[in-house]
A and B are shown apart, each in its own frame.
Chain A
Amino acid sequence: MMNSFSTYMNKIKAEDELKAKTKDFVKKALADKGNQIIELDLARPAKQKMSAVKKLITAASALAACIVLSITGYAVYHTPVNYISVDINPSVELGVNLFDTVISAQSFNDDGYLLLKDHQYTNLSVQEAVNQLIQEAAQNGFIAENGSTVIALTAESNNDRTASKLIFAGGDGVNAALCSAGIDAVLYTDCTNMELRNEASDAGLSPGKYKLIEILMALDPSATIEEYRYEKITSIISKINDLLDTDAYAEDQLAQYSADLGSINEIAQQVQQAIRNAEMEQNRNSDENQDSESGEQETNQNQNTSDSREDNNQSQTSPGAVQGQNQDSGDTTSPQGQQQNQGSTNSGQGKNQS
């Protein structure tokens, strides 16, 4: 069947007209870059003698222009024109200027404040800022080691291309941080416009979380913003997915979110898979430990069946043997004994990576 896929894909060719247009575009773009260099060389102005007064006026004008430009430049640099928000359970929004530099950071909840306090995210690129934010989140225990945590990245812009660029940079930052921390997580990305950002701001939520709660409320009219305000993104997405599975919702309510639902379903499945993988790993490790402890107890039991009391005293230094002896006549294969051993093993094995 996958040969069938390859056969079909091989039929797909770039149209001649498309190739021709692309060649023309690229050649022109590259030529413009080259022409600019030529023009700059030829356009160097001839030097002329100036009177002293004229020199002074020119210098003063230049100084005034510099001051104006500095003030304007400062204002432009420090004005956020787009935003990107990061939601895990900490909710943080980064303001981005025209030069794709982060110039502000605000939190929407206490956990978000924890990530921001004592750290500087401004004057960094979006990728660097998101990288540091995610690493901080990991260090503070907001990202589960089993890979089931959802990190929602939402670009906020009225410009389509800019939003895509922000998501791309933010995604790179998330991936770099997870690699650095040696953990995995599930990344959910979305874009919103400024109108939704304003609505979210009125509700005291980041746009990413606000939109997900809106989708949830479209599926379940009894849900409220207050009910889910402090919930993790992972929980909200799982809830949305559960509601989608029931089919008990009005289709027309979801029309505006139809394109998001596929992604949400996909993300929810990744979360479930990560949890399943972690459980399987946990069970595998507990079985292995159980086997090795049973072997150890049998060895100790064999020692205990020798005549001297000294042998018994020595075996009491091994925890497994003590448990077995305390329960009954040293039968370590009793279910209770096994469960106790299993309990202690699982608590130690709680942190497995998927």
Chain B
Amino acid sequence: MKQLSQPLEANDIVSIAIEQYADMVRRICFLYLNNPDDVEDVFQEVFLQFFLHADSLKTEEHQKAWLCRVTFNKCKDLCKSFWRKKVVSIEEIEIPFDNPEQSDLMKTILQLSPELRQLIYLHYFEGWTIPEISAMLKKNTNTIYTRLRRAKTLLKEKVGDFE
């Protein structure tokens, strides 16, 4: 029966996709959330939505962009929630820093607004260009440039020349 065979195939796809994208989703959650329950909540929701929308996500690039955007939105929504407004505290981070400069940089980035954290991650870690980020977030390119410039200014004020 087709219905019985589908779950078996879905199991393989589920495992493969989660293994492929889990680290990316975890990194995005790191920027916004410090509650393990919230992280688990985000993981379950975004990956379930991912598989429900799988038909429309044709290429790996498309899948990654979609998952990235949905994860950011979910994390930012949780941050904005009336009941759960917490900034990630540097003291609660368990992964050790290589040096004090790295600690200062991460602390400063985690204190930026949710939108600016997102831009820093997409541009400096994922390597996306401004037009790519603009298309992904469906925002005016000038808006992205303005925000990234502001993020750079704020980082420079706190940690000096960071590029």
Contact = CB atoms under 8 A, between A and B. Distances in A.
Interface string A156-177: 0000100111011000100100
A78 to B, nearest CB: 26
Given A14-B25, A27-B7, A262-B113, A1 B159 contact: yes
How large, as a class, is the contact surface on chain B?
A: 35 or more
A7 interface: yes
B82 A19 contact: no
A193 B4 CA distance: 45
Contact of B77 (A13, A168, A274, A277): A168
Contact of B95 (A12, A22, A34, A163): A12
B85 A259 contact: yes
A180 to B, nearest CB: 12
B35 interface: no
B106 A27 contact: no
A167 B80 contact: yes
Nearest to A260: B85
A13 B14 contact: no
Contacts of A270: 146-147, 150
Contacts of B66: none
B124 A4 contact: no
Interface in A14-40: 14-15, 18-19, 21-23, 25-27, 29-31, 34-35, 37-38
Interface in A216-262: 259, 262
Contacts of B97: 8
B26 A18 contact: yes
A6 interface: yes
A184 interface: yes
Interface string B21-43: 01101110010000000011001
Contact of B10 (A21, A30, A172, A262): A30
Contacts of A192: 82
B105 A175 contact: no
Nearest to B70: A168
A15 B95 CA distance: 13
Contacts of B115: 266
Given A21-B40, A34-B6, A175-B139, A4 B102 contact: yes
A2 B81 contact: no
A332 interface: no
A188 to B, nearest CB: 11
A6 B22 CA distance: 17
B89 interface: no
A58 interface: no
- A8, A25, A191, A192 pick with most chain B CB within 10 angstroms: A8
Interface residues of A, number: 54
B73 interface: yes
A11 B116 CA distance: 21
Contacts of A50: none
A18 B40 contact: yes
A52 interface: no
B128 interface: no
B55 to A, nearest CB: 13
Given A5-B120, A12-B23, A18 B81 contact: no
Contacts of A193: 82
A178 B140 CA distance: 9
A26 B162 contact: no
A35 B138 CA distance: 37
B14 A2 contact: no
A26 B120 contact: no
A2 B7 contact: no
Interface in A255-284: 259, 262-263, 266, 269-270, 273-274, 277
13 contacts: A9-B121, A9-B125, A12-B95, A13-B23, A18-B26, A29-B48, A30-B7, A31-B7, A34-B10, A165-B77, A168-B77, A191-B81, A191-B82
Given A1-B159, A9-B30, 9 more contacts: A1-B160, A1-B161, A4-B102, A5-B125, A9-B125, A21-B43, A22-B40, A164-B80, A266-B115
3 closest A-B pairs by CB:
A164-B77, A259-B85, A1-B162
